Structure 1
Amino acid sequence: MSKKHRITSLLAILPLFIMLSACSQANEPASEQEQTPDAHQEASANEYVLTDALGNEVDIPTNPERIIASYLEDHLIALGVTPIAQWSIHDGEGVQNYLQDYLTGVEPIPFDLPFEAVTSFSPDLLIMSSAELVSEGKYEQYARIAPTYVVAEETNDNWRETLTQLGDVLNREEEATTVLEGYEAKALEGAEQLSSEIGTNSAAALWLTSNQFFIVSKNVSSGAVLYDDLGITIPATVEKVSESATGNWSAISLEELVELDADYLFLINSDSSDGSEMLDDPLWQNIPAVQQNQVYEFSSDTSWLYSGPIANEQIIDDVLSSLIDK
C-alpha cells in the first residue's frame, strides 16, 4: 500500500477511535468529588453516630422531632425539647404532675414502654435511662422501631451527668451548660440566704404514703438538694439511714422518728386525701420539729419525689419560701 493510501485509511478510521474513547470515558466512574451523593450519603448528612452506654453505635437524627425519653422529661424540657409522649403509670392517670405546665397536650405512655405503644407514636428517637429498660432482648426490638440510645448501664442518680449526656446526644451542649450554670447560681444564692437565716440548724425530708413514713437519703433526690446544694446541716438520723440505704427513700418507723434530731421537717404527704391518720399518732406529735410547729407539708403532686434541673429548682423555691419567707 502506498504512503498516500495509508494516510487516507488512517484518516478514515480516526473518527471511530475518537468515538470509542469517548464512550469508554463515559462508562468510567466519576471521581469522588464528581459523584452525585446517593441516598445513604444524603441521609448521613442528617444524622451522626454516637456510642451509647451499652456499646451500641446509634444513628442519631440531627433534628429529631418525635422523641420518647421516659422519665427523662425533666431534662428534655430544661434543654428546650418537648417529647412526643410522657412517662405514666396506672393507665395514664399517674404522671409527673410538676411538669404538666410544660407538657400540655403530650400524651402518656406506660412506664414500661410496650412495643405496640411505642410504635403508635412513630418516634424518630428513643432515649432509655438505663439498661434495665432494654434487657432480655428488648433493645433489638426497640431499635427496629427507631434509633435507640441507652444513657447508662444502671440508673444514674447524678442528674447533672445525665443532663450533660443528653445535651451531647441532642446536640444541645450549650443549652446544657446554660442550665447547669443557672442552677448552680440559684443554689449558691439559696445556700447563702439559708446560712444567714438558719445557721447550722438541720432539716430532713419525709414521705408519708399508705400509712408508712420514708426518709430521704443524704446524697440523692431532694436529699442532695438540701445537703449538697443548699448546705443545710444533716441530722444524725439521716446520716445513719443513708449508710445502709438501697434507694432514694428508706422506710422509717414512728419510734425512730421520735429520735430524729431535725429542726425542720419537709413532709411530702401522699395520704392527705385519706385523712393522714399517722399524723394524729401521739408518737408523731412528740417529734421535736412537730412540737415546734416547724413541719412544712407538700403534696405528692410537687417535685419533691423527683430529680432533675426543673424539679430541684422547685425544691429550692419550696425550701426558701418555708424557712425564709415564712
Structure 2
Amino acid sequence: MSHSKTKFTFVLVSLMILSLVLAACGGNASNNAASGSPSAPASSPSESQATAGASETPDASAERTLTDGLGHEVKVPANPQRIIASYLEDHLVALGVKPVAQWSVANGIQDYLQTELKGIPTISYDLPYEAVSSFSPDLIIIGSSSTVEGDKYAQYSKIAPTYVLGDEINNDWRKALLKIGEVLNKSEEAQKALDEYEAKAKEAKEKLQQTIGNESAAVLWLIQKQFYIVSDKLSSGAVLYGDLGLKVPEVVKEISASGTASWNPISLEKLAELDADHIFLVNSDKSTGSEALKDPIWKNIPAVKNGHVYEFDSTHSWLYSGAIANSQIIDDVIASVAK
C-alpha cells in the first residue's frame, strides 16, 4: 500500500471512530464510515490494467486455481458458501452474494447496504485472526495489500483459501467488481452490474446537463466541527466530476492537487473561497448540534446563501465507493438538483 493510502487509512479510521463516539453521545444510531478504502474508505481509480488472472479455466462446477494480485496461487472453492470479504461488501451485494460476516469499525457498519446485509454478524475492520477463524470461512477475499503484510497472509491462509486483490485492482471499484466476479464464477453478473451503473450514470449526466448545465458542485464532510472536502478524482468526487460531468470548483482543484487522501481538511476561511454553485454536505455532527454550520463564514458562502446546500447524514453512501454506493449517490444528486 502506498504512503498516501496508508496515511488515509489511519486518518479515516480515526475519523470514523470519532464520529461514532459523537453519535453514541448524542443518543442516535447514525454511524460513520469512509470513502476510499479505509482509506473510505473508498478508492482511487488506477490507469493500469490488472495482471492477476486464472491459471486454470475449468468449468464452474470445479475447484479452480487462481493467481491473485500478489502472485499467490489460490485454490478457490467452486461454490463458496461462507465468504469473508471485509470492506468489499458493496461488490458482493452487487453480485447477489451475502458474506458470513460484514465489515465494522467501533460498532459502526455500512448502513447503506443494510437492506441486504441486515442481521449479518460484524467483524472488525482489522480482521483479527481469532475472529476470522470463528466464522469458519471457506473463502477469504482481501482488498488492500497492507492487510496481509508480514506473515498475515500465511495466517489467513491457514484458516481458508485467501485471495488478495492487491492495491492496483482494489483502488478501482470497477476492476474490483469484475475481479471478484471472476473469483466467484459470477463474471456475467459483475459485467451486468457494471453496465447498468454506466447506463444510469450516462442518463443522469445528460439530465444534469439539461437542468443545471455547466454549474459546479462540491462535496463536504462535517465531522467533529471540522470540514473535509472530497478529492476531484476519488470517492464521491469521482462520481460527481468523472461520471456525471459536473464542473470542478477551483478550490476543489487546489486542495486535490496538494492533498493525499479521498477527503482532505478545509478551513472555514478556505471555504469562504469555495466557488461552488451547489454543495452536497455529509453531516456527521447532527447529534452535537452542527455548530460549524452556525458560523457566519459558512452562512456567507454563496451556495449556502442561495439555498443550494443538500444535506445527508452519514448513513448515506457518500463516504463509500462501489456500484451500489455510487448508484445511490447519483440518486441523491438527481433528487437534489434535477427534480
1:264-311 per-residue CA deviation (whole Å, 9 max, x = no partner) reads 000000001100000000110111100111100000110000000000
Consecutive unaligned residues of structure 1, counting only runs of 5 or more, are 1-43
- Give TM-score, length-normalised by structure 2: 0.81
1:241 matched to 2:255: yes
Q: What is the aligned counterpart of 1:146 among 135, 141, 160?
A: 160
Q: C-alpha displacement at 1:157, in angstroms?
A: 2.8
1:31 alignment counterpart = none
Tell me if 1:78 matches 2:91.
Answer: no
**CA deviations over 1:159-199 (Å, ceiling 9, x no partner):** 10111111111111100110111001100000000000001
SS at match of 1:189: helix
For residues 289 and 155 of structure 1, what CA distance do their matches in structure 2 show? Answer: 36
Tell me which of 185, 191, 195 is aligned to 1:177: 191
Paired with 2:266 and 2:100, the residues of 1 have a C-alpha distance of 38
Structure 2 residue corresponding to 1:98, chosen from 106, 112, 122:
112
- Runs ≥4 in structure 1, deviation > 2 angstroms? 153-157
SS across alignment from 1:83: coil
RMSD between aligned alpha carbons? 1.2
| Counterpart residue number, 1:7 | none
Counterpart for residue 127 of structure 1: 141
Give TM-score, length-normalised by structure 1: 0.84
Kept in 2, the 8 Å contact 1:127–1:150? The answer is yes
Summarize deviations over 1:11-41 as a string: whole Å, max 9, x none: xxxxxxxxxxxxxxxxxxxxxxxxxxxxxxx
Bigger Rg, structure 1 or 2? 1
- Aligned residue-pair number: 280
User: Which residue of structure 2 lines up, in the alignment, with residue 278 of structure 1?
Assistant: 292
Matched, 1:294 2:308: yes
SS in 2 for 1:149: strand
Amino acid in the other structure paired with 1:293: G
Give the letter aligned to residue 266 of structure 2: I
Matches of 1:61 and 1:176, distance apart in 2: 18
Q: What's the CA shift for 1:46?
A: 3.4
- In the alignment, structure 1 residue 55 sits paired with structure 2 residue 100: no
- Following the alignment from structure 1 to structure 2, what is the Cα–Cα distance between the partners of residues 252 and 278? 12
Higher RCO (CA < 8 A, seq sep 6+): 2
**Cα 1:143–1:209, aligned 2, differ >3 Å: closer, same or farther?**
same
Q: Does the 8 Å CA contact 2:169/2:175 hold for their aligned counterparts?
A: no
SS of aligned partner of 1:207: strand
Contact persistence 1:157–1:220 (CA under 8 A)? no
How many angstroms does 1:241 deviate by?
Answer: 1.1
What residue number does 1:10 align with? Answer: none
Q: Pick one of 184, 200, 205 that aligns with 2:214.
A: 200
Is residue 222 from structure 1 mapped to residue 236 from structure 2 by the alignment?
yes
Residue 174 of structure 2 is matched in structure 1 by 160
Matched to 2:82, the amino acid is: R
**Offset, 1:131:** 1.1
In the aligned structure 1, how far is the partner of 2:163 from the partner of 2:216? 41
